Structure 1
Amino acid sequence: MELHTVVDGMSFTECPRWHDDRLWFVDFYTHAVYSAREDGSDLRTELEVPAQPSGIGWLPDGRLIAVSALDKRILRREDDGTVVTHADLSEHAPAQLNDMIVDSATGRAWVGNFGFDLMAGDPVGPTPLHRVDPDGSVHDAAPDLWFPNGSVLSGGVLLVDETFGNRVSAFDVHDDGTLGDRRDWATFGSLPTSSELNTVLGGELAVAPDGCSVLDAEGCLWIADALGNRAIRVREGGEIVDAVEPGTGVYACGLGGSDGRTLYLCTAPDFLAHNRRDTREAAIMATTVSVPMAG
C-alpha cells in the first residue's frame, strides 16, 4: 500500500477519529486535541489538555470529551467553548488514564488506564476498565485487563485491545451499561508469565494491540501493533489478514475519510516519553484500503 504523510511535526499522536467530515487526533506533548481536513490541511487546535490528552469522543449532543491522562480526569468542552471536568477518576484508576470509547447514543464512556508506571519501568500487571456515565459518575466495568487500550463499540459489543495481554477482549454491553463476562475476540499469544517489563517487551508479546477505532464493513478491525512497527487488519478469532508497515512505530490507527477507505496511522520512532517530549518526529500517515469502515 502506498503511504503518504497527512500531518507531521508532532510529538506523539494518538486516537485518530473521523468525525464531522474531519480527522481528529491528540498529540501528547503539545498537550492538545486537533482536527484537520482529511488531507491534513486546515489544522485546528480544538482543546488544550495540559495534563496530556489521550482518548476522545463525543456526547449525544455533540460536545467533545477528552481524557486528561496524568491527572486522571475527563474534560468536556461546552458549547460556549469553556472547559469543565466531566469526570474525576483519580480515586478509581491506579495509573494514568489511557484510551477511551464513547457511546454517542447514550453518552457512556469506557476508559482504560496503564495499570502501572510504564515510563518508570514498574512491574507489569492487570488493571480495571472503568465506565463513566453521562452524569460524570465512575463505575468499575471489568477487572484484570492487561493495559486496556484502543476500543470499539459495535452492535452492543465492546471490544478492548489489551496491549500487554496478546489479545482483544469482547464484552456484551447490557442496557444499564454494565458489561457481561470477558471473552476472547482475538488472541495472538498467551498472557505474560513475567511481571518484569523488559522481559515482557523483549519476547512475550506476539502482538501488542494498541490504538484502533472502528470495524470495517467485513467485520475486521485495524489495530496498531505497538511493538511490530505496523498496523494489522484482524478477523475475529485472531487471523491477521492484512498489514501496513510504514517503517516506524505505529501506536494507533483508524478508518475515515470521505469514502471511509482512508486508514490513518499515528507514527513515531518510539513511545518513550523522554524521547518524544522535546522532539517533533511524530506524524499521521495515511493509505487507501479496499474495505471501508462499517456504516
Structure 2
Amino acid sequence: MVELVLEGIVLGESVRWHQGRVWFSDWVAGELIQVEGGSARVVARVDGMPFCFDWLPDGRMVSTNGTHQRLLAIAPDGEQTTHADLAGVVAPHAWNDIAVDPRGHVFVNNIGYDFPAGPPAPGLIAVITPGGAVRRVAGDLLFPNGMAVSPDGGTLVVAESHGERLTAFDITAEGNLTDRRVWAELPGDAPDGLCFDPEGAIWYASVPGRHCRRVREGGEILQTVTFEDGAFDCALSPDGTLYAVTADFSDPNAMFSGARTGRLLAATVKPD
C-alpha cells in the first residue's frame, strides 16, 4: 500500500535516508527539506535548479548548484560556501545528481545539454577528490541522471535515462571510474533517481513509467510499486520503507512555473 507522507511539493528530487530521517530537494521552490514524523522543515534554500545533495564522510553536506558551475557545502545552520569550482569541466550546462563514496570522493553528473530546449548531447561524470582536485572521469552517457554508490563502496551506478539502462563503474582508490559495463538493461523505461538495497539490488524511479522498480544486476525485475504520477527519485529506509517523490508531469510548463502537484509517498517493500 502506498501512503501519503507530504504534499504541496513543486518538483521533488534527491530523496535520501540519513540519520533516521527522509530528506529531499524541491528543485523549483529551491528548498532542501528534512521530514520527520510527517513534519517538514526547510533546512536550506539553494539558488539554481537542479540541485541534489549528499553527505561527506565527516558529516558535511554537499550539493550541486544548477548552472552555477560549483559544488556547495551546506552547514547545519544553512550557510553555504563553495566546496569546489566545476568550471572548465564542461560547457555551462546544469549539474545534476551527486553521490559520495566512503573515501570522500564526490561524483557529480551533467547531462551535457540544455534540457529540454537544446538538442540532446552526451553527458559526463566528474569527481571532486578529498584533496580538492576536479576532473572528468566518464563520458558518452545518455542523459546521466540518478547515481548511487554500492553498500561496499566499490561500485558507482548511474541511470542513463535516454539509454534505458543502468550503467556501472568500479571506483578506484584515486576516485577514477573503470570497468564500465551495463548493470541492467531496462527496455522501454527511463530510469531516474535510484538507491541500493541491503541485498545489492537497486530501486529506481521512472517518470514516464509512473513507478519505482527493484531490479537485480543483469536486469531481472523483482518488484514494482506504481503511482498515479511520475516518480522522480526514491530512497529506502532500514525498516523496508520505500520513499518516493512524484509529480504530475503532463504539463511541464505548469510544473516548472510552480504548480504544487508533487508528493512524498511511502510504501512498505520486502526483499526476496
Tell me the secondary structure at the aligned position of residue 183 of structure 2. strand
Q: Does structure 1 residue 23 correspond to structure 2 residue 22?
A: yes
Matched AA of 2:163: G
| 3-state SS of 1:151 partner | strand
Equivalent pairs counted in the alignment come to 268
After TM superposition, list the pairs within 5 Å mapping 1:13-162 onto structure 2: 13-37=12-36, 39-41=37-39, 43-78=40-75, 81-94=78-91, 95-103=93-101, 105-120=102-117, 122-154=118-150, 155=152, 156-162=154-160
Question: What corresponds to 2:270 in structure 1?
Answer: 290
Equivalent-residue separation in structure 1 for 2:143 and 2:42 (angstroms): 28
CA distance in 1, matches of 2:48, 2:140: 26
2:43–2:78 contact (8 Å) kept in structure 1? no
Structure 1 residue aligned with 2:226, among 230, 240, 245? 245
Once structures 1 and 2 are overlaid, which stretch shifts more, 226-235 or 86-95? 86-95
Change (3 A) 1:273 1:93: farther
Residues 192 and 233, structure 2, Cα contact 8 Å, conserved in 1: yes
1:246–1:279 distance in 2 versus 1, CA, 3 Å: same
Higher strand share: 2
Normalised TM-score (structure 2): 0.93
Q: Following the alignment from structure 1 to structure 2, what is the Cα–Cα distance between the partners of residues 40 and 136?
A: 38
Deviation for aligned residue 1:70: 2.6
Q: Secondary structure at the match of 1:51?
A: coil
Q: What is the alpha-carbon distance in structure 2 between the residues aligned to residue 28 and residue 76 of structure 1?
A: 17
Code of the aligned partner of 2:248: P
What is the alpha-carbon distance in structure 2 between the residues aligned to residue 83 and residue 263 of structure 1?
Answer: 30
CA contact 1:32–1:53 (8 Å) conserved in 2 = no
5+ residue gaps in structure 1?
190-205
Q: Which amino acid aligns with 2:141?
A: L
Q: Is the 8 A contact 1:112 1:147 kept in 2?
A: no
- AA in 2 matched with 1:35: Q
Structure 2: state its 5+ residue gaps.
Answer: none
Bigger shift: residues 228-237 or 81-90: 81-90
| Superposition CA RMSD, Å | 1.8
**Residues 272 and 140 of structure 1: CA distance in aligned 2, closer, same or farther (over 3 Å):** farther
- Provide the residue aligned with 1:168 in structure 2: 166
| Per-residue deviation, 1:53 | 4.6
CA distance in 2, matches of 1:9, 1:16: 16
Match for 1:236 among 180, 202, 217?
217
Who is 2:202 aligned against? 221
In 2: Cα distance, 1:177 partner to 1:271 partner: 39
Bigger Cα displacement from structure 2, 129-138 vs 5-14: 129-138
Residues 26 and 53 in structure 1, CA contact (< 8 A), matched pair in contact too: no
Structure 1 distance, partners of 2:251, 2:108, is 22
Runs of 4+ residues deviating >4 angstroms = none
Task: Answer yes or no: is the 8 Å Cα contact 1:264–1:285 preserved in 2.
Answer: yes
- Residue pair 1:267, 1:284 contacting (<8 A) in 2 also: yes
Paired residue secondary structure (1:275): helix
- The separation in 1 between residues aligned to 2:60 and 2:23, in whole angstroms, is 14
Provide the C-alpha distance between the structure 1 equivalents of 2:136 and 2:145, rounded to a whole number of angstroms.
16
Aligned to 1:193: none
Output the amino acid matched with 2:122.
P
Residue 211 of structure 1 is matched in structure 2 by: 193
Matched, 1:3 2:24: no
- The Cα of 1:34 is off from its aligned counterpart by 0.8
**Cα distance, 1:19 vs. partner?**
0.5
Letter in 2 for 1:260: D
> TM-score, structure 1 length as denominator?
0.86
- Give the whole-Å Cα distance in 1 for the aligned partners of 2:225 and 2:97: 22
Q: Find the residue that maps to 1:242 and give its secondary structure.
A: strand
| Paired residue secondary structure (1:70) | helix
Query: How far does residue 66 in structure 1 lie from its aligned partner after superposition?
Result: 1.1
Q: Report how far residue 51 of structure 1 moved.
A: 1.2
1:21-45 Cα offsets, whole Å, 9 max, x none, are 11110001110111011x422x111
Following TM superposition, by how much is the alpha carbon of 1:4 offset from its aligned partner in structure 2, in angstroms? 1.1
Deviation by residue 1:42-77 (Cα, 9 ceiling, x = unmatched): x11111101125221111211111111131321102
